[in-house]
């Protein structure tokens, strides 16, 4: 494979300057092949290669060469907000060439007109999908799309949105970036792109099976076997790697297992640099968006060079853990598989502690993970610049399974990518999105639907039933013309089945003075958050509810599970807006600070959507209740604090403190600056008083 020198690139000197500043003097084999295949000339490519093989730089060269050739705008799309932020920071390097880099995610009911000022826009698949419904002129002008982590097409939740974005992007120039997949040629053909396939990695990967039976034996695929001392294979292997100077990522199939494993590993007492550890533990205790129990638990673990990482943790905690690992202060992270698909966090070794995961819909509750999931986890092994090779081991508890598991996960390619649009909820939402585009007619919608990766016979079925359903439920009229209700639902970026449930429920319900019925209804929609609920917990939830939901507990087991999940979400949010202490909420419901933030964020969007749907249907009494509810969910306060928390810097705790001391509105803050500073501190108080004056003046 040819290796291209940066000096030989047919690009502007400033481009080469940026690369050299990063220490890049030659392109690696994957990057070189992309250039050979026409990357810099704007050729449409689908590049599939392992994690850590330099795909981001390929995207950067593609974007910059496009703009240098006179292109209007490049859009870089990722499946996760964390990746969006990471790429945004990386791409800021290119502003030296005069190109402005912007970022957007969340807030789906807007066209983000400000992005017209930017040459490179980084966003998520969901945000881009929602933007297409708003038809902003800047998006119509955008002519180069980079679809990152394209293997998310196979993801049950995000796959339909990835496909929806791909269908639209196919009309422009595009670059697809994906982990290795077995049907890359078919995907490339669908995207009208040239496939660039390689298994090259910057750090070679050594893989093996760790049998945790009567003896702990690690057997690599090259046939070499070693026996480890101890009773626990994960502990023995982790100890070995850390003693050799490496770091380890241990993946477990649940949060509880990740936390339990972290505690066990911490008992190994690794030698650490005391000052560095004390510094990061000190910063950990200052993280504001976390529960005190989480901080205390992690402080104890991190003081021993270990941490756990999962979605239940707040962003502040996750960011600090990742920073500590990158700085090599933290030696071991135990995590759920979500970390594998998230940020760039390589380690010397990866331990896949479980090949099974929980699935309540399967008899026995366990299913094996996909090969793609294993490849994503194992792909984190090997730190460029630190390791000559990475190691990934799969733990098995039964020696008889070793050969089968090695053959399935290590020696086989990942599963082929398939369309996830093959269900009513996903496909009908896709159709509504198509109908919302400027100038859309029935021929356009039908043509675009045929452009999906879904089997054409299935497309025909879903197309006819979907259009009929959208008309029958008053989203569409006269072919594919959006009704007022349909337009509002499309702009809000909620699933049409969510809108139907809101419409059907409220049409049969009187306005309630209690928030539980509304929160339960919204949590029960397809867009609502999901909470785990144990059988014993169900009675508690019914008892804790200050008033009953709009609907009764259903007899069907699956529907009952959804009912109680929604009730738990409703009660969590109810406590949040009643200003219950965050630590008390986390303890009462057995959730993490990250869970609470995610639930609040989703329910803020859904209460806003419920308000807008009610307005579109002219149900003013329901609309008024949900408008107030939305404001309270946004700030986590009772109604009497809503005026005060309009001032930046005043949240639920400071707001209540000020209110209890007679400062109940922004005007009171301006009139009593010394009292404000005495209550909340000199520096913060001074800023709050200034911001209160700006709020009164209508500047904020």
- Check which CATH number belongs to the domain holding 244 and give it: 3.40.50.300
Residue 488 lies in a domain: no
With a cut of 50, which residues of the chain have pLDDT below it? Answer: none
Residue ranges of alpha helices (H) inside 475-619 are 484-492, 496-507, 516-523, 535-544, 557-577, 582-589, 593-616
Beta bridge partners of 308: 334
In tens, the pLDDT along 254-304 reads: 999 999 999 999 999 999 998 999 999 999 999 989 999 999 999 999 999
| Residue 443: both structure tokens together | 């021929």
pLDDT at 560 (0 to 100): 94
CB 498 within 8 A of CB 613: no
Q: Answer yes or no: do 518 and 537 share one domain.
A: yes
Q: Does 140 reside within a domain?
A: yes
Q: Which domain holds residue 73?
A: 6-197
Last residue of a domain, one of 359, 385, 408: 408
Judge if 627 and 660 occupy the same domain: no
Whether 672 maps to a domain, the answer reads yes
- Residue 608: per-residue pLDDT: 97
Domain containing residue 683: CATH number:
1.10.150.20
Whether residue 557 sits in one domain with residue 440: no
Q: Residue 490: inside a domain, yes or no?
A: no
Domain annotation covers residue 650: yes
Q: Which of 611, 610, 609, 583 lies closest to 596, judged by CA?
A: 583
Q: What is the CATH number of the domain that holds 528?
A: 1.10.3380.30
**Which residue, of 147, 168, 197, is where some domain finishes?**
197
Query: Quick one: 428 and 514 in the same domain?
Result: no
Taking the C-alpha atoms of residue 334 and residue 251, their distance in angstroms, rounded to an integer, is 6
413: in domain: no
**Would 416 be classed as within a structural domain?**
no
DSSP 400: G
- CA 78, distance to chain mean position in Å, is 9
pLDDT at 626: 96
- pLDDT for the residue numbered 345: 84
Is 262 found in the same domain as 297?
yes
Total structural domains within the chain? 5
Say whether both 251 and 283 belong to one domain: yes
If asked whether residues 38 and 183 sit together in one domain, one would say yes
> Is 247 assigned to a binding site?
no
pLDDT of residue 127: 96
Does 344 lie in the same domain as 225? Answer: yes
Is residue 188 located within the same domain as residue 43? yes
Does the residue 487 lie in any domain?
Answer: no
Torsion angle of C-alpha atoms 164, 169, 171, 176, degrees rounded to 10: -120
Q: Which two tokens stand for residue 238?
A: 């982790």
* β-strands 349-352, 248-251 pairing: parallel
Contacts of 333 (CB under 8 A, 6+ apart): 248, 249, 250, 306, 307, 308, 309, 321, 325, 339, 345, 347
In the prediction, which pLDDT does 400 show?
86
State residue 342's pLDDT score.
Answer: 66
Same-domain status, 44 and 127 = yes
Q: Are residues 631 and 648 in the same domain?
A: no
Given this model, what pLDDT does residue 281 score? 94
From the number of C-beta atoms within 10 Å of its C-beta (0-12, 13-18, 19+), residue 92 rates as middle
Instruction: Tell me: do 270 and 165 sit in the same domain.
Output: no
Distance CA 430, CA 129 (A): 9
Q: What is the pLDDT of residue 324?
A: 95
Last residue of a domain, one of 162, 197, 232: 197
């Amino acid at each position: 494979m040819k290796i291209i020198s940066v000096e030989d690139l047919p690009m502007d000197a400033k481009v080469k300057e940026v690369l050299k500043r990063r220490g890049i003097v030659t392109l690696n084999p994957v990057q070189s092949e992309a250039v050979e295949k026409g990357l810099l000339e704007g050729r449409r490519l689908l590049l599939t290669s392992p994690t850590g093989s330099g795909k981001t730089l390929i995207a950067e060269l593609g974007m910059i060469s496009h703009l240098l050739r006179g292109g209007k705008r490049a859009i870089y799309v990722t499946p996760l907000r964390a990746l969006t932020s990471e790429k945004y920071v990386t791409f800021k390097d290119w502003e030296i060439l005069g190109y402005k880099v912007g970022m957007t995610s969340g807030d789906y009911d807007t066209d983000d007109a400000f992005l017209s000022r930017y040459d490179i826009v980084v966003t998520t698949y969901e945000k881009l999908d929602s933007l297409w419904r708003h038809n902003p002129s800047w998006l119509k002008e955008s002519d180069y799309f980079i679809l990152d982590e394209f293997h998310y097409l196979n993801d049950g939740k995000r796959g339909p949105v990835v496909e929806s974005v791909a269908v639209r992007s196919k009309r422009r120039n595009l670059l697809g970036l994906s982990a290795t997949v077995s049907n890359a040629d078919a995907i490339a053909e669908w995207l009208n792109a040239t496939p660039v396939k390689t298994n090259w990695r910057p750090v070679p990967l050594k893989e093996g099976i760790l049998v945790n039976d009567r003896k702990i034996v690690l057997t690599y695929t090259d046939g070499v076997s070693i026996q480890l001392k101890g009773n626990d294979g994960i502990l023995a292997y982790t100890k070995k790697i850390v003693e050799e100077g490496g770091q380890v990522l241990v993946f477990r199939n649940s949060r509880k297992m990740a936390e339990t494993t972290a505690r066990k590993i911490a008992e190994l007492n690794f030698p650490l640099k005391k000052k560095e550890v004390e510094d990061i533990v000190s910063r950990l205790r200052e993280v504001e968006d976390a529960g005190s129990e989480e901080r205390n638990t992690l402080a104890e673990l991190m003081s021993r060079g270990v941490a756990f990482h999962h979605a239940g943790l707040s962003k502040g905690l996750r960011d600090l853990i990742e920073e500590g690992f990158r700085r090599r202060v933290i030696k071991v992270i135990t995590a759920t598989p979500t970390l594998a698909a998230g940020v760039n966090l390589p380690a010397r070794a990866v331990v896949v502690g479980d090949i099974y995961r929980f699935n309540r819909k399967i008899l026995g509750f366990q299913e094996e993970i996909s090969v793609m999931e294993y490849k994503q986890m194992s792909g984190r092994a090997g730190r460029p610049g630190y390791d000559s090779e990475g190691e990934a081991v799969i733990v098995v508890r039964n020696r008889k399974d070793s050969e089968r598991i090695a053959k399935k996960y290590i020696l086989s390619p990942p599963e082929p990518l398939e369309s996830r649009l093959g269900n009513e909820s996903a496909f009908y939402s896709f159709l509504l999105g198509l109908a919302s585009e400027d100038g859309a007619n029935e021929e356009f919608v039908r043509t675009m639907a045929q452009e999906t990766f879904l089997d054409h016979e299935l497309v025909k079925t879903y197309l006819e039933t979907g259009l009929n359903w959208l008309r029958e439920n008053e989203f569409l009229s006269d072919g594919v013309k959006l009704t007022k209700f349909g337009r509002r639902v499309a702009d809000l970026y909620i699933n049409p089945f969510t809108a139907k449930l809101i419409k059907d429920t409220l049409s049969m319900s009187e306005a309630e003075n209690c928030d539980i019925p509304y929160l339960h209804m919204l949590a029960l929609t397809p867009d609502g958050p999901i909470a785990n609920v144990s059988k014993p917990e169900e009675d508690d939830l019914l008892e804790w509810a200050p008033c009953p939901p709009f609907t009764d507990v259903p007899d069907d087991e699956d529907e009952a599970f959804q009912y109680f999940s929604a009730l738990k979400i409703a009660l969590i949010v109810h406590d949040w807006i009643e200003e219950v202490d965050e630590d008390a909420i986390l303890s009462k419901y057995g959730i993490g600070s990250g869970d609470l933030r995610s639930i609040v964020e989703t329910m803020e969007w859904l209460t806003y959507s419920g308000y807008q749907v009610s307005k579109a249907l002219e149900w003013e009494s329901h609309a008024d209740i949900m408008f107030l509810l939305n404001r309270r969910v946004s700030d986590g306060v009772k109604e009497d604090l809503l005026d005060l928390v309009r001032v930046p810097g005043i949240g639920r705790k400071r707001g209540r403190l000020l209110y209890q001391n007679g400062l109940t509105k922004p005007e009171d803050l301006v009139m009593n600056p010394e009292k404000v500073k005495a209550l909340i501190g000199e520096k913060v108080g001074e800023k709050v008083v200034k911001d209160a004056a700006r709020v009164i003046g209508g500047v904020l």
